[in-house]
Amino acid sequence: MAFSDENNPNLIKPTSGFLPGGGLEKKSSGRAFGQEIRGINNNRRALNDINHNSMVNQAYPVVNKRVLAGKQEICEKKQVDPFHRPITRKFAAQIASSQQLHHPQENSKGNSLLTNSNAFGQSIFVDEECKTAENDSPVPMFLEKTESPLPQEPSQMEEVEMEDIAEDDCDNPVIDIDGVDSKNPLAVVDYVDDLYAHYRKIENSSCVSPNYMAQQFDINERMRAILIDWLIEVHDKFDLMGETLFLTVNLIDRFLSRKTVVRKKLQLVGLVSMLLACKYEEVSVPIVGDLILISDKAYSRKEVLEMETVMLNCLQFNMSVPTPFVFLQRFLKAAQSDKKQLELMAFFLIELSLVEYEMLRFPPSLLAAAATYTAQCTLTGVEGWSVTCEWHSSYSEDQLLECSRLMVGLHQKAATGKLTGVHRKYCTSKFNYTAKCEPAHFLLQTQQ
């Protein structure tokens, strides 16, 4: 329903020059509304002329002077003290004393020296230190500082501190391995040390007893080795991530240490462990049908899903455990060597250790450190464990020798034993024929 503008007296109608559609209305003189405005602006007097109008100055002489003085004072105050910091008690006392020296007759009148000499007006006093002002203009305030010694002493102190820092740098050759990743958000440089300290703290929760196989009545260490050697080949066939393999082996050992399993169900435990590890680590998870096919249809889909439920309940859904893979990545970075070749050799040695039941007595961090140390010795031909590696691994060279010698022995018999899945894997061009490198025999010769 439309309303007429005539019935609404409060409605403010547009001034001349605007059309209802939003355009400009031409006047009789032929000039547009915008041109008319510009003509008015050209005829206006400048603002300074208004301020200097004699009529205004005569009508408000005091007000104008105060306003102008106030504006000038505010401008000066903003230029000198942009932060508007308050005056201090000490500064006020210094101003008062200077006024007493120069104008003693004014002090006898009882006038407030602070009020007459302070350009800030009313001041808020705070207990801060500042320097004495030479004139009445406001100066920036500074935070309170303790009394500094003589000018010669700070320079001597600074020289001593710089010498101490230089000596500390010389005595501490540990390399900063995270500096290159300071701009990489995935490296979490600010938290990486705390993360690995947490891994070291909880790694024992992921370990199992090295004698857990004694409670199994139908399987033994040899069957476990056969299962893991076969799963390493399956892992390579599916082209899965490295984390998946280590978590698979960890789930197998943790489950077998808590539940007794018959021989015909052992392969099912291995398949379900890999399925769970894939669901935890991988982006693309193999389907259950693929696992059934690769096991030559030894189990049905129902059996796989039932075993998955049993394992998760037994492990209490605890899948977040530090495996040797986590520590190996960190220690390889600390080694500061040829990343590709050293990494392949270290993974070759540690995967050989996954197959062997006797290597369960070493915690994941020690296993990873020994693999890094043995890989370095294998590639360089000499013993060497840098201070940087010892710092980040928390293991000395002597602590690694026992595990390292066992790895050298596994390397020696990798091609001649019955379980050669790891050796065949690392004898391909995909892994740069790493398994064909000569073992570090000299580590066995130093054994006492």
Q: What is the pLDDT averaged over residues 40-66?
A: 47
For the chain, percent of residues with pLDDT exceeding 70 = 61
Band of residue 375 on the pLDDT scale cut at 50, 70, 90: very high
Give the pLDDT confidence score for residue 174 in this predicted structure: 83
Residue pair 81/62 in contact by the 8 Å Cβ criterion: no
Give the pLDDT confidence score for residue 24 in this predicted structure: 45
Give the pLDDT confidence score for residue 91 in this predicted structure: 67
For the chain, percent of residues with pLDDT exceeding 90 = 52
Task: Write down the residue that tokens 């500082």 correspond to.
Answer: 145
CA 116 to chain centre: 57
Band of residue 382 on the pLDDT scale cut at 50, 70, 90: confident
Largest CA distance in the chain: 117
Give the pLDDT confidence score for residue 283 in this predicted structure: 92
Asked if the model's pLDDT at residue 65 lies above 70, the reply is no
Asked if the model's pLDDT at residue 70 lies above 80, the reply is no
pLDDT, tens digit, 9 for 90 and up, residues 143-171: 444 444 444 444 444 444 444 434 444 55
Q: What are phi and psi of 24, to 5 degrees?
A: -100, 140
Cα–Cα separations (whole angstroms), residue 90 to 97, 104, 124, 146: 11, 20, 12, 15
Q: Could you tell me which residue, 270 or 131, shows the higher pLDDT?
A: 270
Give the pLDDT confidence score for residue 48 in this predicted structure: 47
Rg (CA), the chain: 42
pLDDT, tens digit, 9 for 90 and up, residues 318-333: 999 999 999 999 999 9
The residue type at 401: L
Cβ neighbors of 396 (< 8 A, separation 6 or more) are 385, 390
Q: What is the pLDDT averaged over residues 410-436?
A: 93
DSSP letter at 18 equals B
Give the pLDDT confidence score for residue 78 in this predicted structure: 46
Asked if the model's pLDDT at residue 381 lies above 90, the reply is no
Q: What angle do CA 327, 333, 338 make, to 5 degrees?
A: 125
Q: What is the pLDDT averaged over residues 82-95?
A: 60
State the Cα–Cα distance between residues 343 and 363, nearest whole angstrom: 20
State the Cα–Cα distance between residues 109 and 122, nearest whole angstrom: 20
State the Cα–Cα distance between residues 119 and 114, nearest whole angstrom: 9
Band of residue 205 on the pLDDT scale cut at 50, 70, 90: confident
Band of residue 228 on the pLDDT scale cut at 50, 70, 90: very high
State the Cα–Cα distance between residues 71 and 38, nearest whole angstrom: 31
H helix intervals, 9-125: 33-43, 47-51, 54-59, 61-80, 89-102, 104-107, 113-117
Cβ neighbors of 216 (< 8 A, separation 6 or more) are 256, 260, 261
Give the pLDDT confidence score for residue 247 in this predicted structure: 96
Q: Could you tell me which residue, 383 or 26, shows the higher pLDDT?
A: 383
Band of residue 179 on the pLDDT scale cut at 50, 70, 90: confident
Give the pLDDT confidence score for residue 147 in this predicted structure: 45
Band of residue 447 on the pLDDT scale cut at 50, 70, 90: low
Q: What is the pLDDT averaged over residues 403-423?
A: 93
Q: In the structure encoding, which two tokens stand for residue 363, read together?
A: 């915690």
Q: What is the pLDDT averaged over residues 86-93?
A: 64
Instruction: Tell me which H or E stretch contains 412.
Output: helix 397-412
Residue pair 273/248 in contact by the 8 Å Cβ criterion: yes
Asked if the model's pLDDT at residue 244 lies above 60, the reply is yes
Q: Note if the pTM is more than 0.95.
A: no
Cβ neighbors of 186 (< 8 A, separation 6 or more) are none
Q: What angle do CA 78, 82, 84 make, to 5 degrees?
A: 95
Q: What are phi and psi of 18, to 5 degrees?
A: -105, 130
Asked if the model's pLDDT at residue 116 lies above 50, the reply is no
Q: What angle do CA 429, 334, 186 make, to 5 degrees?
A: 85
State the Cα–Cα distance between residues 25 and 34, nearest whole angstrom: 10
Give the pLDDT confidence score for residue 117 in this predicted structure: 44
Identify the structural domains of the chain with CATH numbers, from first to last. Answer: 206-315 (1.10.472.10), 324-444 (1.10.472.10)
Q: What angle do CA 279, 307, 354 make, to 5 degrees?
A: 65
Asked if the model's pLDDT at residue 258 lies above 70, the reply is yes
State the Cα–Cα distance between residues 324 and 214, nearest whole angstrom: 24
Cβ neighbors of 190 (< 8 A, separation 6 or more) are none
Q: What is the pLDDT averaged over residues 127-156?
A: 45
> Measuring CA to CA, which residue among 205, 207, 248, 251 is closest to residue 229?
248
Band of residue 446 on the pLDDT scale cut at 50, 70, 90: low
* Residue length of the chain: 448
How many Cα atoms are found within 13 Å in the side-chain-facing hemisphere of 288? 12
Give the pLDDT confidence score for residue 128 in this predicted structure: 43
Q: Could you tell me which residue, 102 or 300, shows the higher pLDDT?
A: 300
Q: In the structure encoding, which two tokens stand for residue 387, read together?
A: 């201070």
State the Cα–Cα distance between residues 54 and 56, nearest whole angstrom: 5
Asked if the model's pLDDT at residue 347 lies above 90, the reply is yes
Q: Could you tell me which residue, 39 or 290, shows the higher pLDDT?
A: 290
Q: In the structure encoding, which two tokens stand for residue 259, read together?
A: 């539940």
Asked if the model's pLDDT at residue 41 lies above 80, the reply is no
Q: What angle do CA 343, 281, 332 make, to 5 degrees?
A: 20
